[in-house]
Structure 1
Amino acid sequence: MANGQAKNANPLTTRQQVADQLTLLLRALDAQFDAGATGITLGDTCAHYGPEIARMEGLSRALWGVFPLLAGGDTLPEAEKYLSAIRAGTDPQHPGYWGNTGPYDQRLVEMAAYGYGLALLDGRLTRHFSARELDNLFTWLSQIDDAQMPDSNWNYFAILVQLGFKRAGLPWKREAIERRFAMMEAYYLGDGWYSDGPGRPKDYYISMAFHFYGLLYATLMADDDPERAATLRSRASLFAADFIYFSATDGASIPFGRSLTYRFAMVAFWSAAAFAGLEGFSPGVVKGIVLRHLRWWFDKPILDRDGILTLGYACPNLVMCEDYNSPGSPYWALKTFLILALPESHSFWQAEEQPLPALPRTRAIKAADQLLVHSEASRHAWLLTSGQLELNNYVNTEAKYTKFAYSSVFGFTLERGRYGIKHAACDSMLLLSEHDGYYRGRRGCDSVQTTDTHILSHWSPWHDVHVSTWLIPCGDWHVRVHRIDSARALDSVEGGFAAIHQPGVTEVDERPGATLITSAIGSSCIVDLADPTPRAAGHVVTPPNSSIMFAECAVIPHLRVDLQPGVHWLCCAVAAGVTAPILPSAAPRLTRSADALCVSLDGRETTISL
């Protein structure tokens, strides 16, 4: 795979093939690794912590792949370069010393990799260090003990360091572990879910951080901390029953939230589940989830011409990057290779790969205010969400957290400008404007209610505009109902899923009250359910690099209507699929009375009290 464009020749079915794929990634990094250096330079884009720490990060992130490979008994000729860099980087007398850390320091994040290596390899790692070198490493890592850091998943970094110290026979502090666990207990939500800190979102950090580290700890500390290990395993099992819905049958996951440039870190939870022997799903099912996911990714253009992971999601895209994304950031993805710490004889590798188990079509995750939907007919998975507010206001927060729906196939688009609906990322959103071309949608919610059948959110884009939104899954469709109480005259635009726009290939069918887009990746449809006068149907083509799924322009079907001050009800049905085109005539029916909504499709009804 020279640049990631060609189909990956590696079938990724055996342990050796997975190890070969990781080795290719590491050898690409090695080509950027100067002898004697204490970091890896991977590009000229910048993160808020500057290029020196970014180089240290580039080296450290690679270790999430190096250490499990070595733990599984594989050899890696490049390993000595990493060991030399660690010796030099932690030596205060060396010109490449990584330095003393301060509050909220990025180097505290990277320390987790070294705790991870010490924990997985125990004495097999420390024997490569002299007494002085080991003392330097211990002293440098010990800065995290009482470090001031965000009250979030960062607390696990300090725990991993202490875990590594203990496993490697170095002095460790149980009280430091207890303190960090106590802090994180404050944001356990129940049913296996956490928030990423008090009042923070529920996104992939729960899987690739909280439960990944928790299962590592529970496995390696089962004898020394059995009660906590049992709790962590129990919570992970609860979480797994929900999280399996984020995986589609083709190996894709539903993109949602920040840090999507970490790519296949999305599935690292399942690698940790295999490592821990977590109960709930068979080794064959877990193996299938992980390996299909890796295959999906390595058939995407995610590598540059040198074989380096780019910044982006399913293709390179700097528009989506957060301010903490350096060129080395995507290598968090290597956490998924924890499965290589398992020997060939392990049940994970010996099991026959299995498809996803039969699942009920919908899953309500009340702790996260999400409804997950699996559709065999439309061959994709999607989630309906309440609209979480990321208080740090990272780039494109609204696009990443507050749309109505997120799809494993159609992803979502990003805002590209302040003016005009073309740039406003209207897919899966209701956007409102005071007829001036500047649009507002759902950001924070005043309140949210999640049930087994729907999500209701109340939100206020202006102080005198109040919207209640019901999201109701219904077969391969979902129905949206909005009650808008506005003191302002507004222009409204509501979009469906974003498809790929390719002239001569993509077809747009606009009819009264409905737009159907048929594209190379599938079809997307929005149908107004008003009676008797539907909203005007149309579509918008966004600029290149708007979508996280493809570099081409995106095309979004939408409905538009002007609203005078007063109370208005807007209702529509939205669907997207990969197989046969969605037919507007097949949309659900909606009946609204003074006290209830009734959605019906194929003889099935859902009634919701107002």
Structure 2
Amino acid sequence: MPRTSLPPEDRSLSPYTGWTRAHWEAVADRLLTAALRHAGPDHALIALPGPRPSWSGPRSDALEGYARTFLLAALRVAGAGGQDPLRLLDRYAEGLAAGTRCPTGERELTGRDPVAWSAVTDRGQAMVEAASVALALRLTRPWLWDRLPARTRTRAADWLAGALRHTPVDNNWWLFQVTVGGFLAETGHHTEAAEHAVAQGLSRIEQWYLGDGWYTDGRPRAVDHYNGWAFHLYPVLHAHLTDDRRLLDRYGTRLAAHLGQYAHTFGGDGAPLHQGRSLIYRFASAAAPWAGALTGHTPLSPGTTRRLASGTLRHFLDHGALDDDGLLTLGWFGSWPALVQPYSGPASPYWASKGFLGLLLPPGHPVWTAVEEPAPAERGDAVVPVRGAGWLIQSTAADGLVRVHNHGSDNQPADELLPDDPLYARLAYSTATGPAFEGTADNHFALLDGGEASERGPIVPLGAGPGWAASAHRPRIGGAALPGVGVTSLVLAAGAEEIHAHLVTGAPGGTGVRHTGWAVAGSAVETAVTGGGARVRVTGSALVSEAVALHGLDAATTEPVPAGTAFGPAAAVPVLTGTVTGEECLFVSAVRLSGAGTAPPAARVAVEAAPTGHRLRVHWPDGSHSEALIRADGVTVTSDED
């Protein structure tokens, strides 16, 4: 977004980002103005240009364009107390009346009705969009819904009620019924079904609560950004808008617990964690911090909340998330097709509208008037365990980088085995790197067989604690588990240092193994190999990825990432290799991702056999120590903090 289209920065109020509420309002107006240029007849459908439709078809995609931008318009107008100089609500009211007049099952926009909305069906995309429409109508009720003719309200309510009658996907989709049901119950339409849907949806998500403020999204171990922009956002907003203190105490307490850890996943440059599906929603990652401030259920100060939210919005706009026409692209910074799931179409990125939730807080609220405070990643080095998710968050203040070591999320279904998903199966993710979708997998430990590398498959978490996280898996090639083979993996972290240990059991002698580090990307990268270590550096940047063999691994190299990553077209990954030499074989390496210079990993490591496993002692550069006992059936870790 051109800087000339934004208000002047205010570095007194916002010393970290320079942005104020006026910047958020200006960005919202620009996003809406650009999208509304593509509105069809009667403003019922907004068909944005794009490289391909979603698997739901062009009509559904155009409904997304209406629903998701309507939510942004609702936040903008409701946050301004009904003031609507762009006459946004008039357009969306006209579209609501036209789109719900005769819902259709047609997928294409070339049919006889160019304005009809897609009918809500079992597991159909219209159910998702019904939630955005319902929430937008609830937020703007005094200025839109209450002024509609009765027949229009009835038709719209009947269309929305389709979300109550049909079956959702068995994951966060149950919360779409909660959101639709909350609005319909409030307005007296389909009341019995609406109240049942709210109760049923809230009950359903309980089975996915992992504790400590974290959910898995339907599958046994699918932890990602849907925690913030779905599992916490919808229940807390429903409780807040209904003024249900019992529900707010329940879900607000969970939200506060979540934010206490989630806030550590934002980088010093404002970047959210690059992990999980639907990353094209970008600054929707700000929704949870705003929800905490809106409801008063947050451990974050107002200045920290705004710093996180403004930081992530500005991060994406400064890195080209908008195309030349001012539209959000299908990617992370610019367009990047590999990042896009088949269910996403040209308007899908506008779920990012949730990131504007803070506009509901009035201009005089402390979240807008307090001086910005540093994000957790800027205050000092930290290593934070997330036990429910099986994660270990590691951040360094010198470069603002955040790394999340993943020993708990794989996105594997309960009843089938899928190939590893690069956005879930890696050993680690960060705010400055993306996974490789082609070539050698980054942040991965593999057994090698005939030129094929094993996949991680389902992860069994073994725990997370101060400075460590661990898991086990059965390596697979071509979907089949290697007979009798298991891998127990452990990471120990302090400062920017990472020590990775992998205990392989049951593999035949002579089997090759490979451990890879971070895939860094940019317009160009430089690589170097020295002895037992490999390094990749982004040209013209201080961002460096390094890996050093410490035990069991005996060779180092680098491998290019053929198509780059979401962070740049040129990328490479450091690679360490070794060979299995016994029934139990331990492989240990030092890995480092740094944006503050090229100092090599400095931790000192000693490995020795123990009566019941393998003992690993680490002496960190700051003088502290960690010790781990690694066995095939688990790990035991002690440190100076214990």
2:158 corresponding residue in structure 1? 139
2:421 corresponding residue in structure 1? 398
2:17 aligned with 1:31, yes or no?
Answer: no
Partner SS state of residue 71, structure 1: helix
Distance 1:389 1:7, change over 3 A: farther
1:151 corresponding residue in structure 2? 170
1:384 corresponding residue in structure 2? 405
1:294-305 matches, within 5 Å, as: 294-305=313-324
Matched residues in 1 for 2:6 and 2:311: separation? 13
2:226 corresponding residue in structure 1? 205
Partner SS state of residue 165, structure 2: coil
Write out per-residue CA displacement over residues 496-522 of structure 1, whole angstroms, 9 at most, x where no aligned residue: 11122555xx43231110112232341
Matched residues in 1 for 2:350 and 2:374: separation? 27
2:199 aligned with 1:178, yes or no?
Answer: yes
2:236 corresponding residue in structure 1? 215
2:491 aligned with 1:471, yes or no?
Answer: yes
Partner SS state of residue 499, structure 2: strand
1:98 corresponding residue in structure 2? 117
1:51 to 50, 58, 80: 58
2:346 aligned with 1:327, yes or no?
Answer: yes
**Paired AA for residue 236 in structure 2:** L
**Paired AA for residue 528 in structure 1:** A
Partner SS state of residue 468, structure 1: strand
Matched residues in 2 for 1:193 and 1:314: separation? 27
Offset of residue 446 of structure 1: 4.3
Write out per-residue CA displacement over residues 427-470 of structure 1, whole angstroms, 9 at most, x where no aligned residue: 2112332132x322322124533233322211112332321111
Distance 1:501 1:233, change over 3 A: closer
2:447 to 416, 432, 450: 432
> Is the 8 Å Cα contact of residues 447 and 512 (structure 2) preserved in structure 1?
yes
Distance 1:7 1:434, change over 3 A: farther
1:189-268 matches, within 5 Å, as: 189-197=210-218, 199-222=220-243, 225-268=244-287
Partner SS state of residue 278, structure 1: coil
1:571 corresponding residue in structure 2? 588
What is the identity percentage for the equivalent residue pairs of Structure 1 and Structure 2?
Answer: 25
Matched residues in 1 for 2:608 and 2:64: separation? 55
> Is the 8 Å Cα contact of residues 275 and 424 (structure 2) preserved in structure 1?
yes
Partner SS state of residue 215, structure 1: helix
Write out per-residue CA displacement over residues 274-293 of structure 1, whole angstroms, 9 at most, x where no aligned residue: 22232422111111111111
1:280 corresponding residue in structure 2? 299
Write out per-residue CA displacement over residues 321-344 of structure 1, whole angstroms, 9 at most, x where no aligned residue: 111111111111110111112221
Write out per-residue CA displacement over residues 143-187 of structure 1, whole angstroms, 9 at most, x where no aligned residue: 112321122211111111122224445553323211211111122
Distance 1:360 1:379, change over 3 A: closer
Partner SS state of residue 90, structure 2: helix
Distance 1:412 1:90, change over 3 A: same
Matched residues in 2 for 1:542 and 1:92: separation? 49
Partner SS state of residue 119, structure 2: coil
Distance 1:115 1:396, change over 3 A: farther
Write out per-residue CA displacement over residues 23-82 of structure 1, whole angstroms, 9 at most, x where no aligned residue: 111111112223425222222412221111111112111122111111022422344322
Partner SS state of residue 586, structure 2: strand
Partner SS state of residue 547, structure 1: coil
> Is the 8 Å Cα contact of residues 524 and 582 (structure 1) preserved in structure 2?
no
Offset of residue 476 of structure 1: 1.0
Offset of residue 121 of structure 1: 1.9
Q: TM-score, normalised by structure 2?
A: 0.87
Offset of residue 315 of structure 1: 2.8
Structure 2 residues without counterparts, runs of 5 or longer:
10-17, 105-112, 476-480, 631-642
2:38 aligned with 1:21, yes or no?
Answer: no
> Is the 8 Å Cα contact of residues 387 and 402 (structure 1) preserved in structure 2?
no
2:437 corresponding residue in structure 1? 415
Farther-moved stretch of structure 1 (277-286 vs 287-296): 277-286
Matched residues in 1 for 2:420 and 2:230: separation? 20
**Paired AA for residue 316 in structure 1:** S
2:565 to 533, 544, 547: 547
RMSD (Å) for aligned C-alpha atoms: 2.5
Write out per-residue CA displacement over residues 377-410 of structure 1, whole angstroms, 9 at most, x where no aligned residue: 342111111152223699985311111111111x
2:315 aligned with 1:315, yes or no?
Answer: no
Distance 1:567 1:161, change over 3 A: same
2:545 corresponding residue in structure 1? 524
2:76 aligned with 1:69, yes or no?
Answer: yes
> Is the 8 Å Cα contact of residues 514 and 528 (structure 1) preserved in structure 2?
yes
Q: TM-score, normalised by structure 1?
A: 0.91
Distance 1:283 1:219, change over 3 A: same
Write out per-residue CA displacement over residues 245-278 of structure 1, whole angstroms, 9 at most, x where no aligned residue: 1112221111111111111111211121222232
**Paired AA for residue 119 in structure 1:** R
Distance 1:328 1:590, change over 3 A: farther
2:600 corresponding residue in structure 1? 583
> Is the 8 Å Cα contact of residues 321 and 395 (structure 1) preserved in structure 2?
no
Matched residues in 2 for 1:171 and 1:441: separation? 49
> Is the 8 Å Cα contact of residues 79 and 362 (structure 2) preserved in structure 1?
yes
> Is the 8 Å Cα contact of residues 606 and 616 (structure 2) preserved in structure 1?
yes
Distance 1:482 1:279, change over 3 A: closer
Matched residues in 1 for 2:518 and 2:486: separation? 24
Structure 1 residues without counterparts, runs of 5 or longer:
417-422
**Paired AA for residue 323 in structure 2:** D
Q: Higher RCO, 1 or 2 (CA under 8 Å, sep at least 6)?
A: 1
Distance 1:104 1:311, change over 3 A: same
